[in-house]
Amino acid sequence: MTKEHYKVVAQNKKASFEYFIEERFECGIELVGTEVKSIRMGKCSINESYIQIDKHGEVIILGMHVSPYEKGNIFNRDPLRVRKLLLHRQEINRLAGKVKTAGYTIIPIRVYLKGSLVKLEIGLARGKKLYDKRQDIAKKDQRREAEKEFKVRMR
């Protein structure tokens, strides 16, 4: 057995604050060589990106920014181009069904390197209401206060 190595390149920190993440999927991204090199250097952002299922039944990510590779010259592509995500047909059908009927959306959670491959973790999510966000903030504050109190007692 070999242990897989993960290196997180980009993370969508607002995802868990803005949405309830019901399910998570791991998928590949259709990239060209210079984009892979740029992602390995950590020059990728998914903060403003979103995921759609197009009319051909393919899952695509829009707004994912991959900075041009410094030594890529003519082989560099548009940093914000539409990229196809690689999922099994059964997973795509399941996502499409949930998005159409139950008010779910698909959001990118993080981009990471798994061995020599670039992977994207996506989530099937439901949007949070304002009062849900307030509850999350209150829980974080309570946990922070408890940790601070525990730290004072340890001294």
Query: For position 74, which CATH number holds?
Result: 2.40.280.10
Answer whether residue 41 is part of any domain: yes
Number of folded domains that form the chain: 1
Answer whether residue 140 is part of any domain: no
Answer whether residue 95 is part of any domain: yes
Answer whether residue 138 is part of any domain: no
Domain that residue 38 falls in: 6-127
The answer to whether the beta carbons of residues 150 and 43 sit under 8 Å apart is no
List Cβ neighbours of 6 (8 Å cut-off, separation of 6 or more): 112, 113, 114
Answer whether residue 135 is part of any domain: no
Amino acid letter, residue 98: K
- pTM of the complete model: 0.76
Per the rule left: phi > 0, alpha: psi between -120 and 50, beta: everything else, 145 is: alpha
What integer is the mean pLDDT of 40-59?
87
Answer whether residue 10 is part of any domain: yes
The DSSP symbol for 91 reads: H
Amino acid letter, residue 53: I
> How many Cα atoms sit within 13 Å of 69 on the Cβ side?
18
Answer whether residue 136 is part of any domain: no
89-146 pLDDT, tens digit per residue, is: 999 888 888 888 877 888 999 999 888 888 999 998 887 777 777 888 888 888 888 8
- Cα distances (Å, whole numbers) of residue 8 to 23, 72, 83, 111, 142: 19, 23, 19, 6, 29
Answer whether residue 83 is part of any domain: yes
**Which pLDDT does position 101 carry in this prediction?**
80
